Amino acid sequence: MRVKEILRAATQAWSPAMKHPAYLALGTAAQQLDASFNTSAALEIFEMDFADSSMDMKLRGTLPTSSRFHSLIWVAFDMEVKGSSGRLIGGSESGTVSVFSPDAILSAGEDAVIGQSNKHTGPVHTLDYNRFQSNIIASGASDSEIYIWDLNNFSNPMTPGAKSQPAEDVSVVAWNSQVQHILASANPSGKAIVWDLRKNEPIIKISDHSNRMHCSGMLWHPDVATQLLLASEDDRLPVIQMWDLRFATSPLKVLESHTRGILSISWSQADPELLLSSGKDNRILCWNPNTGEVIYELPTANQWCFDVQWCPRNPALLSAALFDGRISVYSVMGGRLQQQQHSTISTSFDTSDPFGSGQALPPLQVLQPSVETTIIPPLKKPPKWERRPVGASFAFGGKLVMFESPKVAPQQQPIPRQVHVSQVTTETEFLQRSAELQATLQSGSFSSYCHGKIRSAPSDAEQDIWRFLMVNFEDEARVKFLRLLGFSKDELQRKVSHHNTNHYIRGERGKLTDTDGLINQALLVGNFEAAVDLCLNDGRFAEAILLSISGGEELLKKTQQHYLHRQTNSLISSVVTQNWRDIVQSCELDNWKEALAALLTYANPEAFAPLCDTLGARLQAEGTEKHCLQACLCFICSGNIERLVECWTSQRDCSSPLELEDLVEKVMILRKSIERLRSGEVCVQSSALTEKLIQYSSILASQGSLTSALRYLPDSPDQVHTLIHIYIVTVKLTGEQLMIFNVCMCCEFESLILLLPENYTPPAPITAPVMAFSAEAPGPQDRVQVPPGAPQEPSIRVRGHDVRAHQKSLCFHHHNSVCHVEQKEIPAEHMILKTTFSSLVQRCQLAAADPQTKRKLDDASKRLESLYDKLRDQALSPSILGGLHEISRCVGSRNYQQGLELHTQVVSSSNFSEISAFMPVLKMLMTIGNKLAV
């Protein structure tokens, strides 16, 4: 796009790269007139002020000169001196070579002309400076004159050797970019001479055998010392030839896209793959000289451009000098161009005849100015200065992907670029504990695992939890739960015997303080004999009768009921009536151990778990950490994983990996104990547990433990997307290609596990040697050519079977079952998009005649489903949706050209990964629709 413009018929020179801001020097061009027929000459300096949005360049300094210029260069001589702006050297039509001070011109000071020489006998057509010594200048003029100037001693130039014969104009001189003593010159006849200044003689001559090569430009390769370009001005041979001095019998390569003679060429010093050329066919082309492909074309007016130059400071900018008296600055990075077509020559004449009687002339028939807006795309390939030499990015699964671009000498073979994939591990302890848990779950050594947890537990409460968990894997679990609560049958028997002995020896009838306690303990552990014995020894006959014949005859029951009305010991009442719900609902919470022990001893299996949950809920409702830990023990006894998770997370922050590991260890061990008791798998429907397991799996995946992450993911249908995401990343890690696709899969968790490759192993952590693979492009037999941005269809080899990722969806099968996912509706406000684009496909299909176009349309119809899926999921940003509706309106009105312009705007301003699946399809459809006129 054009960024700046000024009306000047001038020769141009950019300031050196180290000069900031960038300046453009313009010297009035020789043998040219502007529309006002002005014959004066000047040297002007303009500043490139891009903060100013206008197209005007700011004039910063001017110097009138006596002669006009054929050539002008700006060198970095003396720029190391603070405040110096280098030197301007001009070659004039009078044969004068002049040295100017840009600083003096910019400050309007005196002594702007530092040096001047009339050594040449004719016009100075060309100038160039040495890339290694900025004080060394070469000039070429008529009569085969070439001089080498030293800015430190400007009065005594030297020649590179004897004049070439026959004598003719020197159209161009060029210093070699790699070897400082090599200079080349070229003549309009097409002959080029390479000079060695150490020997002061030519070392090789190059000429085109067709005798039609009228040389208008010559450039050395920026990196390869033996290669140079020659441009032909002859309309019969409008080519650019690339020569290699090692094989100088014929051109190495010929660039052919101009239809008329070439006037100017410029090679980018920032990217050797960018070469500018302008010709008499009114075109300014940008080539990749390595491939011979035209990669960019500048939009220009219908005028010849006699000089193009890259900007050294900003490599994306270039300037073009046109014969219509206009200097334009362009950017190759794309944008909008508003171009006004008008004639400056017609507006320079007065309406009266100055050479006649003064009568008014008839009005000129001049077209009115018109403004055209064009969207200019950027370069097809990022230029070298925009490419990152190195880069790194974190990927899913804790992967760190790094790449680098090794520097290669110009004449060496390119080195394959390496992409390094490393595993980053930050939660070492978490991974270690998770691995231990996974090994335990697979080996079944749960008791040993619990023993280890008891030994390393940081608190008594944590030890109690692991003791309760360990009991689940032992026989007579309820008896051992009683021991953990402090109730032992053997110890009770010893106390009862000791109590009865003392009572008998002392002969006392009074009530001992520990009698009730012993009776209660005997009842809690189911020792009726001891309880009755205690009651008899204490004279408590009613209790003895009730306990001895509980559940007896009807008269005895009535007697029991009458007695129990007077009895204040609720435990005795509950034992006799089997009413344990009153105990857990009304007991003092300080006596929770006794209540839980009673349930362990007496509650039948069907009622045991709900009663334990009720007691645990009361403890949890207290809200203190102590009561919540006690509630956890109740939930462990009942095997209620869901309530255990809720209770634990209410007091512990499980956001950190290690806290989350604590919870998952307890849950998985409890789950295994329940599976052991039930001899089958346990399915827990808990949103809280699901959330924690997903969080746990995500951390495992981020640390690289993808296989373990998959094992902990819940098999709920709501988590399908999480499963797919981890599956996609897992397949990528095996080096396979995989497109983004919609997936329908079964709810069985194992169906995803089976898709993992047999040889899949997680990459080593980053502390291990880094894994590397070459990023060279696959061979032709390994890939299918598709348009840029189109989704791929890779074939993935999984356990001996091909799994193809289709463009619409892929359904995973497991145990002959298929999962059907109900498709969402497209929102009503976006249905017009589907209607319009589908109608366009149908119109094109009816009008298309050739099979290739029909195949493209069939493929487009399928690929548009990716757009409709995004509309259903409301996954597109408002800006993209707005652009799609604008494109839809253009398609509906058959204005495909405007639709394509809008398409370019949407693509250039959007995230490419978000639109890459369908935007290329829309462009192809509009192009076909425009071609078929449907």
Write out pLDDT tens, residues 260-270.
Answer: 999 999 999 99
- Residues 374-427 have pLDDT tens digits of 666 778 778 888 878 888 998 888 889 998 877 766 556 667 778 999 988 888
pLDDT value for 532 = 59
Q: Of residues 334 and 297, which shows the higher confidence score?
A: 297
User: HEC profile for 31-83?
Assistant: CCCCCCCCCCCEEEEEECCCCCCCCECEEEEEEECCCCEEEEEEECCCCCCCC
Q: Which of 292-306, 660-674, 750-764, 885-899 is least confident?
A: 750-764
- Residues 292-318 have pLDDT tens digits of 999 988 877 678 999 999 999 999 999
- Residues 650-660 have pLDDT tens digits of 888 787 888 88
- Residues 864-894 have pLDDT tens digits of 988 988 899 888 888 899 999 999 999 999 9
Structure tokens at 696: 């746990």
Mean pLDDT of the chain: 78
Q: Quick one: average pLDDT of 635-639?
A: 87
- Residues 25-37 have pLDDT tens digits of 999 998 777 666 7
Q: Quick one: average pLDDT of 792-806?
A: 37
Longest dimension (CA), the chain: 161
Burial of 261 (0-12, 13-18, 19+ CB in 10 A): buried
Sheet of strand 253-255: strand arrangement: 215-220, 227-232, 240-244, 253-255
Structure tokens at 4: 């700046």
Q: E strands within 289-363?
A: 293-298, 305-310, 317-322, 326-331, 335-341
Burial of 477 (0-12, 13-18, 19+ CB in 10 A): middle
Q: Of residues 748 and 135, which shows the higher confidence score?
A: 135
Flag whether pLDDT at 506 surpasses 50.
no
Structure tokens at 591: 């006596």
**Beta-strand pair 240-244/182-186:** unpaired
**CA gap 923, 903 in Å, rounded:** 7
Percent residues over pLDDT 90 in the chain: 31
Strand, helix or coil for residue 224: coil
Q: Residue 139's pLDDT band (boundaries 50, 70, 90)?
A: very high
CA torsion angle 798 804 808 810 (round to 10): -40
**CA gap 22, 14 in Å, rounded:** 7
pLDDT value for 409 = 63
Q: Residue 749's pLDDT band (boundaries 50, 70, 90)?
A: very low
Strand, helix or coil for residue 133: coil
Flag whether pLDDT at 363 surpasses 60.
no
- The CATH-assigned architecture of domain 828-932 is Up-down Bundle (1.20)
Percent residues over pLDDT 70 in the chain: 74
Q: Residue 353's pLDDT band (boundaries 50, 70, 90)?
A: very low
**CA gap 651, 646 in Å, rounded:** 9
Flag whether pLDDT at 594 surpasses 90.
no
Structure tokens at 507: 């002969």
pLDDT value for 180 = 94
- Residues 614-630 have pLDDT tens digits of 989 989 898 898 888 88
Q: Are 36 and 45 in contact (CB under 8 A)?
A: no
What's the DSSP call for residue 789? T
Question: Is the peptide bond prior to 21 cis by the omega test (within 30 degrees of 0)?
Answer: yes
pLDDT value for 755 = 44
Flag whether pLDDT at 792 surpasses 60.
no
pLDDT value for 529 = 58
**Beta-strand pair 23-28/10-14:** antiparallel
Flag whether pLDDT at 739 surpasses 60.
no
What's the predicted TM-score (pTM) here? 0.52
Q: Residue 367's pLDDT band (boundaries 50, 70, 90)?
A: very low
Query: What is the topology classification, in CATH, of domain 2-336?
Result: Methylamine Dehydrogenase; Chain H (2.130.10)
Flag whether pLDDT at 132 surpasses 90.
yes
What's the DSSP call for residue 905? H
Crossing angle, helix 460-471 and helix 625-638, to 10 degrees? 10
Q: Are 359 and 353 in contact (CB under 8 A)?
A: yes
Going by C-beta distance under 8 Å and a sequence separation of 6 or more, which residues neighbour residue 260? Answer: 235, 238, 279, 280, 281
Q: Residue 809's pLDDT band (boundaries 50, 70, 90)?
A: very low
Question: For the chain, what percentages of helix, strand and coil (3-state, to nearest 5) are there?
Answer: 35, 25, 40
Task: Give the residue extent of every domain in the chain.
Answer: 2-336, 390-423, 828-932
Flag whether pLDDT at 82 surpasses 60.
yes
Q: Residue 788's pLDDT band (boundaries 50, 70, 90)?
A: very low
Taking Cα atoms as reference points, which of 317, 209, 200, 308 lies closest to residue 262?
308
Q: Of residues 750 and 663, which shows the higher confidence score?
A: 663
